[in-house]
């Protein structure tokens, strides 16, 4: 079966760095996405990785290792507004998105 695993909840301090991990097992791979979702709102796109390596975009970076079925989202200089759920999703061989359950990130002052 297809499976996406990510931690349920993480807590970090304002100004610090946090890494949210995602492991996956899917039938085929056409890229991995990270989305941010604030409570009661639709997800917003953060990053897309299809090749191995690190993609940096401002305070957010995303890493992919296809051989390990592993990705992480790195958030630097955390701000209170970063408190949200972070969703990992993999596009399978049928170009369908398989979603993880999301990681709720709590930022403390």
In the complex, the residues that contact another protein under the rule CB under 8 A are: 30-31, 33, 40-45, 48, 50, 87, 91, 95-97, 99-102
Beta carbon nearer to another protein, 13 or 93:
93
CA separation for the pair 45, 87 (Å, rounded): 10
Beta carbon nearer to another protein, 69 or 102:
102
CA distances from 22 to 27, 73, 74 (A): 16, 8, 11
Smallest gap from residue 91 Cβ to another protein (A): 6
CA separation for the pair 37, 50 (Å, rounded): 22
Smallest gap from residue 17 Cβ to another protein (A): 25
Q: Which residues contact 76 (CB under 8 A, 6 or more apart)?
A: 17, 59, 60, 61
Smallest gap from residue 92 Cβ to another protein (A): 12
């Amino acid at each position: 079966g297809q499976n996406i695993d990510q931690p349920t909840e993480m807590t970090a301090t304002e100004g610090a760095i946090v890494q949210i991990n995602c492991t996956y097992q899917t039938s085929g791979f056409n890229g991995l996405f990270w989305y941010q979702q604030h409570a009661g709102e639709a997800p917003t796109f953060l990053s897309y990785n299809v090749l191995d390596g690190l993609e940096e975009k401002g305070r957010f970076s995303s890493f992919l290792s296809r051989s390990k079925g592993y990705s992480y989202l790195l958030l630097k200089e955390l701000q209170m507004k970063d408190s949200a759920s972070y969703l990992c999703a993999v596009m399978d061989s049928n170009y369908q998105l398989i979603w993880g359950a999301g990681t709720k990130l709590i930022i403390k002052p």
